[in-house]
Structure 1
Amino acid sequence: MTDAPMKPSLQRPIAPRIGASRPVVSPIMPSVVYASETPDTLDDQYEGRTQGYAYAREGHPNADALARRLDAMEGVSGGVVTGSGMAAVAAVLLGLTKAGDHVVGADQLYGRSLRMMKEDLPRLGIETSLADPTDVAAIERALRPETRLVLIEVVSNPTLRIADLDGIAQLCRERGVLLAVDNTFTTPAAIRPVDHGADIVIQSVTKLLAGHSDVTLGWVGAREATLNDAMRVFATTTGMSASPFDCWLAERGLATFELRFARAQDTAARLAAHLAGQAGVKRVLYPTRGDHPDSARAQAVLRGRGCNMVSFEIEGGRAAANAFAAAAEGIAFAPTLGDVGTTLSHPPSSSHRALTPEGRASLGISEGFFRVSVGLEDPEALITTFDAGLAAARAV
């Protein structure tokens, strides 16, 4: 299935005219409350006969401006901006399910998504199962008559496995099950899940979309208006509000998103190729490499787009990992991704620390495993820094 091109990230001023002119940049509107003329006016707003705002927890101009742009990029209408990526995940898992439902999740979801699946949903009477998203038969075996929803990521964290998105979407259609896809790693620059049959798309706007590590936001959008309405009501009721200032910063970040994505992706491919030839590197994971376990699917689903994430494993265990991180000066050792600067993450000590060593080993995560979010540095300078880290690791 072919993705429709991502819509351009055009600025859409939301301010009224000031005399004969209009602001080019969306202004920040931090007001918590909005005044209406009469009770009838307020009724018209709440019942959809006119547009307006009443209380910022229910929505505000900056959130709406950002939502419109994200909607266009992901190919949906009526998406909801939330206070974080996990708030968007919660709006799906808790806003669209009820006690007695069953949810299937990919077995390598983001750590907090896994925690919600394993601990929070069962506590509320919602049963859950985990299955390998690279194997549609495994997802099918996990389905039950009461299954309401399947949640996957296109590319897994941190081993960068590629989900069988088309196969899972077809399965969900046949079974009448909702398919929600977290598109944070890949972004609409690489793939639009709704074009592959997904019902719901999730973004942690905090990451690549905003792109500067100064925003905490999420977004979720669905094909059907009834799903968006249910998630919006849940987000409003539970206070998943987005800050106007963060929405304004994210809208600013979107203006350069496509340029940042392309540059980081090109550098990531170069870094992966370089690391693969270095002594002390046991393996390199990058979706477009021929030695990736899902390389054929990566070509079919991502159409040659490897994105900006690279994972690799070095010899020497934890001691070598410590040496590498300390010697890679200028690379932030931080469990995040999508910044303009490259960041280095060590899953055994961060995102996957709650797993037993055996549990991590089953996923292919050793003490020498690193995940890299490639930024906008000069590629040669970045490679030089990684070489210094590898030299230090080999010395150990």
Structure 2
Amino acid sequence: MTERSPPPRIHWPASVSRPVATPIFPSVAYAAGGPDELDAQYEGRTEGWTYSREGHPNAAVLADRLAALEGAPNPGTVTASGMAALTAVMMALLEKGDHVVGGDQLYGRCLVMLSEELPRLGIGVTLADPTDAAAIRGAIRPETRLVLIEVVSNPTLRIADVAGIAAACREAGALLVLDNTFTTPAGFAPFEAGADVVIHSVTKLLAGHSDAMLGWACAADPEIAARIARTAITLGLTPSPFDCWLAERGLHSFPLRFERASSTAGALADRLAELPGVRRVLYPGRADHPDSGRAAALLRSGGNMVSFEVGGGRPAAQALVEGAAGIPFAPTLGDVATVLSHPATSSHRALTEEGRAALGITEGFFRVSVGLEEEGPLLDAFEGAVRAAAAAAT
């Protein structure tokens, strides 16, 4: 039998300089120098990587940048999606017999998790109005482990009574889990407001280009943060190095994108409010928003999201989408391009018609994620779309 020489060792090219941009590290595994070195890594006596499901350089770099934006006390955990971040938190902190209070105005899949998946595991759930701290307080039980809210609800853009809910959580010894995706660190500081755990769908405005799917979860308590990280590793909620690299790149322009999109969103909300056929406009920066006082007190900006409703049912909704020339109709938000979505058939389609109606989500209800286009043509495009809807409704 012919003897074969072992494969050659790979030696990295030497360099006295460092890369300006973060390199991508797609390696699944990292070779150690032996059992002693591996023990030292797992026991925390040295730093290093082992297997990418347990962490990799690109996730670590992104986590540090996200934590800096949020003023977080630790890097938190980057996950494969926003829902993966929520899953890591729920599975890390809850067990059979626990109880959760959730805002009744959450992203559709969050509502599905609370109303279907958690009860299947023996975890009780009560939904209550997050704009009413008394309603949240009344829903809390002795076995309530955590309260989950969005600062600005998806897609109705209502503003939670964060101060009142945080106080209720402290009184009951429950954790406040706050989804800061819509508001972003540029619009709201959740840890300063009393949040115990903050989650993000990094996919959205933070990454900002609709080409990376990621989430992030961070707890103020280091023991809870470690528990969330272990759960994410065990459940295989690991993010892609390439997506982490893309998101980190997106963060460099995030402040500029947020400012530009927020300015245009305010102008769009004002234009929509003037158009015949528009029944209502929801934008936190407008004085006619139902929670305008709270929005002014809590938020640093009105944000880039606008919701509005037209009459005429499905025919008018279809006509509006067809008449929105050049505006993508897609179930996402936070892109550099303005995106139009229809919650009844996308984010909240898993709810019953009655459930959507209770939230004010009708066939004529639309959500707009405003991007970076020139303001004038964008507003004109929406005016044309609304006119098309009005024609279809008559």
TM class, shorter-chain normalised? over 0.9
2:240 and 2:185 map into 1 onto residues whose CA distance is: 23
Counterpart check, 1:234 vs 2:231: yes
Please tell me whether residue 96 in structure 1 is matched to residue 62 in structure 2: no
User: 2:373 matched to 1:377?
Assistant: yes
Q: Which aligned pairs between 1:1-396 and structure 2 lie closer than 5 A?
A: 18-76=14-72, 77-303=74-300, 305-396=301-392
CA distance in structure 2 between the aligned counterparts of 1:133 and 1:273, rounded to whole angstroms: 26
Q: Which amino acid aligns with 1:87?
A: A
Unaligned runs of 5+ in 1: 1-15
Counterpart of 1:375, as a letter, is G
Cα distance in 2 for residues equivalent to 1:78 and 1:391: 48
In structure 2, C-alpha distance between the alignment counterparts of 1:349 and 1:147, rounded to whole Å: 32
Q: Which amino acid aligns with 1:379?
A: E
Q: What is the TM-score normalised by the length of structure 2?
A: 0.95
Q: 1:283, CA displacement in angstroms?
A: 0.8
Deviation (angstroms), 1:355 = 2.9
Q: Is the 8 A contact 2:109 2:348 kept in 1?
A: no
- State the shift of 1:17 in Å: 10
Secondary structure of the 1:95 match is helix
TM-score w.r.t. structure 1 length? Answer: 0.94
Say which one has the larger Rg: 2
CA distance in 1: counterparts of 2:138 and 2:161, whole angstroms: 15
Give how far 1:179 is off.
0.4
Counterpart CA distance in 2 for 1:364 and 1:18 is 61
State the 1:312 CA deviation: 0.4
In 2, the alpha carbon distance for the partners of 1:357 and 1:123 equals 23
Instruction: Structure 2: state its 5+ residue gaps.
Output: 1-11
Q: CA deviation at 1:123?
A: 1.1
Matched residue SS, 2:93: coil
Residue 95 of structure 1 and its aligned partner are, at CA, apart by 1.2
Per the alignment, in what secondary structure is the counterpart of residue 338 of structure 1?
A: coil
Q: 1:271 to 1:199 in 2, by over 3 A?
A: same
| Cα distance in structure 1, aligned partners of 2:76 and 2:13 | 26
Matched position secondary structure for 2:336: coil
Q: 1-side partners of 2:106 and 2:230: how far apart? A: 25
1:361 shift after superposition: 2.1
The amino acid across from 1:353 in the alignment is: R
